[in-house]
Structure 1
Amino acid sequence: MADQRIIDVKLDEHTIIWRNADIEQERRIAIFDLLEGNEFEPAREYPGGYAGPYKLTLRVEEGRLALDIAAENDTLLETIIIGLTRFRRPIREYFAICDSYFQAIRQATPQQIETIDMARRAIHNDAAELLKDRLEGKVTVDFDTARRLFTLICVLHIKG
């Protein structure tokens, strides 16, 4: 029976330099939410008919995103590589709006915070759709899974 979901996700620790507590909290929440509910269905058929659940490791390698997909027993099934060029702008915009949001929650009015949060969600949603498109033909994910994966992709791009 197929179990098309992610049960564990790791970020390549060599890629990441934690920037601040806010970003670390975003990472923890994204991983927790991702593991609580996700849809992740690789297009490829694996040896022995393996159909999940999956362990996922995300890393940036030579300007590209590498997704290592492993079986429950840690056997590497495949590595999916996608270019990150089309993500540069959404990542930059997401960082900028997140910085504004984190500053706003400390000193802005509720209405200002809500306005910034709406803009942050819009950027995040657009990036999630882009990720779904870039994964098409390789792995099928639902919208919420794509949003959480985009958050983790952003964490991989933090350089201090």
Structure 2
Amino acid sequence: MARNEGQRSRLIDVELDESIGRSTPDIEHERAVAIFDLIEENSFQPVDDDGCGPYRLRLSLADARLVFAISREDGSPVVTHILSLTPFRRIVKDYFMICESYYEAIRTSTPSQIEAIDMGRRGLHNEGSQTLMDRLAGKIDIDFDTARRVFTLVCVLHWRG
């Protein structure tokens, strides 16, 4: 039975290179959850590789850049894209600050205050996701939900606890 396009234009594995480094058990757990969520549901297609997936993604860091090494299901290389993380610095920093405010608010604030902070958090997450989509345009086609999951992973890679 032939695979449909949705089964081919997707990630089946995401691996973090040793250049990412390891962290505390809590952060490692958050990374694992982010990877699980990304693999569970995604739309991922390298441009000019017409539906020849599914794909494996190996992420690594090199000189403040995120390296996307994409291969086929059998491990044969497809393409490598290098993405500067500079455009994400402010968004990630602001996102972490608002997340701290959110977790503090959960303990001490009213539901309406918590909701307002959470709306701001979601707005920053959406901004980071759109920036990611824009930066990958012409390289990797992803939908917005996949961009949100990849942005979550980018944030967790920066989280120091």
TM-score of the alignment, normalized to the shorter chain, above 0.5: yes
For the 8 Å contact 1:4–1:53, the answer to whether it is kept is yes
Question: Which residue identity does 1:142 align to in structure 2?
Answer: D
Residue 48 of structure 2 aligns to a residue whose secondary structure is: coil
2:33 aligned residue: 29
Deviation, structure 1 residue 70: 1.4
Secondary structure of 1:66 counterpart = strand
Q: Which residue in the other structure is 1:130 paired with?
A: 131
Instruction: Say what the alpha-carbon RMSD is for the aligned residues.
Output: 2.2
Aligned-residue offset at 1:24: 4.7
State the alpha-carbon separation in 2 of the partners of residues 115 and 26 from structure 1.
24
Contact 1:26 1:151 in 2 (8 A): no
> Relative to structure 1, is the Cα distance of residues 17 and 146 closer, same or farther in structure 2, using a 3 angstrom cutoff?
same
Match of 2:20, SS state, is coil
CA distance in 2, matches of 1:128, 1:71: 25
> Residues 15-26 of structure 1 correspond to what in structure 2 (within 5 A)?
15-18=20-23, 21=26, 23-24=27-28, 26=30
Find the aligned partners of 2:66 and 2:41 in 1 and give their Cα distance.
Answer: 22
How many residues of Structure 1 are paired with residues of Structure 2 in the alignment?
A: 156
Indicate conservation of the 8 Å contact 2:66/2:83, yes or no.
yes
Q: How much has 1:12 moved relative to structure 2?
A: 2.7
Q: What whole-Å deviation, never above 9, does each CA across 1:57-100 have from its counterpart, x for those lacking one? A: 22221011111111112223221101111111111111111222
Q: CA deviation at 1:136?
A: 0.6
Structure 1 CA distance, aligned partners of 2:124 and 2:30?
A: 16
Tell me the equivalent position of 2:17: 12
Give the TM-score normalised by structure 2. 0.84
Identity of aligned residues (%): 50
Work out the CA distance in 1 between the residues paired with 2:20 and 2:106.
29
Ranked by relative contact order (alpha carbons within 8 Å, sequence separation 6 or more), the top structure is 1
Residue 40 (structure 2) pairs with residue 39 (structure 1)? no
